[in-house]
A and B are shown apart, each in its own frame.
Chain A
Amino acid sequence: TQLLEQSPQFLSIQEGENLTVYCNSSSVFSSLQWYRQEPGEGPVLLVTVVTGGEVKKLKRLTFQFGDARKDSSLHITAAQPGDTGLYLCAGAGSNYQLIWGAGTKLIIKP
């Protein structure tokens, strides 16, 4: 069974600080997606990483796929209150179904 462990589960920091969220697995994924979910809404895709070692940037958000395609990280620089939300990672497994992490609830305090 493929599992995707996401950490931390909860993070509350001050505006302007940096943070990193991790998704780790012992399994190889063909790709990994990151989503953000706000209260009362469904998850919305932020980025998909496909190649081992790939780095993608979305304004202050930096996403990295591990060289072995077993792990990924999301780094936010100078966090803003608008970054508050639930961040979810999902890896495309061996049968092309998505394996979901449990999520990181992020709160950015003004």
Chain B
Amino acid sequence: EAQVTQNPRYLITVTGKKLTVTCSQNMNHEYMSWYRQDPGLGLRQIYYSMNVEVTDKGDVPEGYKVSRKEKRNFPLILESPSPNQTSLYFCASSFQSRGDGNQPQHFGDGTRLSIL
């Protein structure tokens, strides 16, 4: 089954304790992206990757890191989480390329992160 898998689904942690949210897709998509979703603000892009070893900042990259060492995996790293990073996070992938923004994005089921 074609899917984007995020782990964990839920995490409660404390300020400053490094954490990683994993994302894996099995559709051979080149493009992957991380979003955060907050009430009234919609989806805001954190980082995206057009291909292996190629990552770019989205609209709200501060406080986050990503890596793309393999095509299927795109982990999101919070080196020193703070309460304002409490949010619902989504990973997405697609066949999108620089010449084609019309491709649909396939989303994981989300990770609800609470930073105390």
Contact = CB atoms under 8 A, between A and B. Distances in A.
A40 B42 contact: no
A100 B102 contact: no
- The B interface, classified by DSSP as helix, strand, loop or mixed, is loop
Interface of B: 4, 40-45, 48, 58, 90, 92, 96-102, 104-105, 107-110
Nearest to A101: B42
A100 B41 CA distance: 9
Q: Which of B4, B58, B98, B101 gathers most chain A CB within 10 Å?
A: B101
Chain A residues touching B, majority SS: loop
Contacts of B110: 40-42
B109 A40 contact: yes
A28 to B, nearest CB: 12
A17 B90 CA distance: 32
Given A45-B104, A48-B104, A103-B42, 17 more contacts: A33-B105, A41-B109, A42-B92, A42-B107, A42-B109, A42-B110, A48-B102, A50-B102, A90-B43, A92-B102, A93-B101, A96-B97, A98-B105, A100-B42, A102-B40, A102-B41, A102-B42
B101 A100 contact: no
